[in-house]
Amino acid sequence: MGERSSAHNARTLLRAQELSKRFGDLVAVDRLNLSLAPGECFGLLGPNGAGKSTTLEMLEGILEPTSGKILFKERPLFDDYRHHIGIQFQATALPEHLSVSDCLTLFASLYRTTVPLTELAQLCRLESLMDQQHQTLSGGQRQRLLLALALINRPQLLFLDEPTTGLDPQARHNFWQLIRDVRAGGTTILLTTHYMDEAEQLCDRIAIMDHGRVLRQDTPAALIAEAFLSHIVSLPASVELGPGWPLPVQQRNGLLEFQTDDVNQVLALLQQHRVDVTSLNIRRPNLEDLFLTLTGHQLRS
């Protein structure tokens, strides 16, 4: 993490400054600031309607901001920008009756310089699928093909828009490894996701958005440590704590939750108050807890 932090301090690959987008009276993005360091995986998280998609489209050069700046290598976005980035959209319509190999060849024709198709096929685990019609691929196979198409011009910056939505757990975990492999090759990644475990597994830093603004931005560990004590002790909400319970308690998702840095103290208090601890659970806070605290609701798909 130290090397990436120093790279972040030294220079920035992509920077948004006071970025805003209005649609009539609707403010979709409101004076947003964020920066991506070379080689990092940066997560953009937020509920539906938070402004993620609009932000992404502006950073991709698809949508013109109402105000603010986007800088790539400290320069305003230029006509050649698309040759330096790759985008894996949530949904991509491909021409029918093309094989995987045909799709890669077609997309390669759109760029000046491209990755050899054999190299792409190996990276994205497509070697055995090259002659298969793309419309017959499984969900995970199709996402691997779309990733290969986004990487075909060897981009410095890769945008991944909810790439594992709808995949089964095994396909998700396989795709996570592909993302790690791509990043290990030096590609900077901006990832949007509805899965908190995905963000914790893959992202060096995250920004949590709501109502068009960034609420918090840092490493997942730093954000969690800033917002919570070290442990959360929980019991079913039906449990009676009795009068005079001394600790702050939060009721959420059918549970009573206590934050604490001293689990033994909580256990001793529960024993003193003769509380039924049959269903007691002790865990560390996670990004889902942080998201609920900041936005008031779970990250919904």
105-136 pLDDT per residue, tens:
999 999 888 999 999 999 999 999 999 999 99
CA distances from 131 to 102, 141, 193 (A): 8, 13, 31
What pLDDT shows up at residue 298?
55
- For residue range 18-68, list pLDDT tens digits in order: 999 999 999 999 999 999 999 999 999 988 888 999 999 999 999 999 999
Which residues share a beta bridge with 281?
234
Amino acid, res. 103: C
- The CA distance from 59 to 202, in Å, is 20
Looking at residue 297, its pLDDT comes to 63
The domain limits of the chain are 1-84+156-171+186-227, 89-155, 229-284
Contact between 254 and 274 under an 8 Å Cβ cutoff? The reply is: no
DSSP summary character for residue 272: H
Q: Return the pLDDT at 3.
A: 42
CATH tag for 1-84+156-171+186-227 (out of 3.30.590.10, 2.60.120.10, 1.10.10.10, 3.40.50.300) = 3.40.50.300
User: In the beta sheet, which residues pair with residue 42?
Assistant: 190, 205
- The three-state secondary structure class of 85 is strand
Q: In 3-state terms, what secondary structure has residue 55? A: helix
pLDDT in the model for residue 90: 80
Residues of the chain with pLDDT under 50: 1-10, 299-301
Give the SS3 label for residue 39.
coil
Orientation angle between helical segments 220-227 and 287-295, nearest 10 degrees: 60
Which phi and psi (to 5°) does residue 209 adopt? -105, 150
Q: Do residues 153 and 111 make contact, with C-beta atoms less than 8 angstroms apart?
A: yes
Neighbouring CB atoms inside 10 A of 78's CB total 12
* CB distance 43 to 192 below 8 Å: yes
Amino acid at 122: Q
190 vs 41: CA distance, rounded Å: 6
pLDDT at site 242? 79
pLDDT (0 to 100) of residue 6: 39
Predicted confidence at residue 5, as pLDDT, reads 41
Tell me the CA distances in angstroms from 62 to 22, 136, 157, one per residue in order. 15, 30, 15
